[in-house]
Each structure stands twice: as structure tokens, then as C-alpha cells.
Amino acid sequence: MFSLVRERLYTPVVGDVMDALGLRHQFLPPEIRGITEGAVVVGRAMPVLITDVFAPQAAPFGRLTEALDQLRPGEVYLARNGGEVPAAAWGEILTTVARMRGATGAVLDGFHRDTPKVLEHDWPVFSRGSYAQDAGVRKSVVDYRVPVEIGGTRVAPGDLVFGDRDGVLVVPAEVESEVLERALEKVSAENHVRAAIEGGMSATDAFREFGVL
């Protein structure tokens, strides 16, 4: 299924389908972008909850290593970050662990660092940008595999996470089959529209006939 999404779909069409179903808050904030231009991430959400701290903690980084060590193949490490203190939520060692455990990417409501080393892995990371300040005395993972909200979008464990150069969205598990089926149909319809316009049909007539723009 992941390969089908990766090869045949793109976030605009999946987002349009969810809009039509009344699910209109499924994109994460637009500042969360792939750290490479062509990055694509597809997988099951493994949500992680991070909070701000303001001094060294008895357990540095909180439950971060626990969260990393129980990642499953096909999952996406998806972190909801505490918002007041800027610090990196991802880096080279975390990338190594997640990739070795079969995770398919990381999506961070926060920053990453160690950019050159992370890029060497050729593994999809989406974040709000690069920022080197360490999380050790500023952030703590307080829980994982729990529902979180990022920018008004609810993410539950096991939801489908799909990100490309146009953003990152979340497909709730309970509507996943319907959304993907409709998205594939919409892609087919868009192909017909493009062919009709290339054949001389006006945009107005094409939209009237196919209902796709």
C-alpha cells in the first residue's frame, strides 16, 4: 500500500478528497517541509509528545530513547514539540536508529540538526528547518504512541502519514480505504482533464464535464 501511495498519489489530490469528505484540517502546518526538495514520506504514525524543560533533568531527553527503540517497520516518527524553547528535535544518531529499525521517515513539529550527516542517510526527514541548539537541557519526551495535535490536526497512532514537496497530511485510519480509493479516481480524472485541455478544450468546459480542476 505504501508503494501505491508513493508512486501514484500526491498530497494535493489526497487533501482535496479529504476536504470533500468534510475532513478539512488534515495538513500539518506549512512550515513543516522536507529537508530535501524531493523528499517523500509514507507510513504509519508513531506520535511522540515533547515538552519544554528549563534546566538539566534527571533523565536527559526524557523517554526519547524508549520511543526510538520501539519503532516498528513502516512507521513514521512524528513529534509534537513543546513550542516556547527552540531546540533540535532530530539529528544524525536518531536518524540512524530509526532507519535501522525500519521506520520510513521522521516528521517534526520542530527543528533538526546535523544536516550534512542526516542527508548522507538519504532518508526522509520533514521539519521546520535546521537549528543546532541542543535539546538535552531544553526538551523532554514525555510519552509516545499516544494521540497528539499539531496545528489543529489530530494524529492518532497508526494513522497514515503522507508528505511530499507540497506538505504533510494525515489520513485517519477509519477513512483510509475510502480516501485512497477516491484519490486514485481523482488522479485518473485529472489525467483526462489534462488530455482534454491539451486537445483544445477550454478550462470552463473541462471543469463542467469532469468536475476536476
Residue 193 above 80 pLDDT? no
CA angle 89, 90, 95 (to 5 degrees): 155
d(CA 145, CA 40): 22
d(CA 203, CA 27): 27
pLDDT at 146: 98
- DSSP β-ladder status, 105-108 and 75-80: parallel
Residue 191, C-beta contacts closer than 8 angstroms, at least 6 positions apart: none
Q: Which of 17, 42, 35, 190 is nearest to 125 (CA)?
A: 35
pLDDT digits (tens, 9 = 90+) for 34-78: 999 999 999 999 999 999 999 999 999 999 999 999 999 999 999
Q: Other C-beta atoms within 10 Å of 192: how many?
A: 13
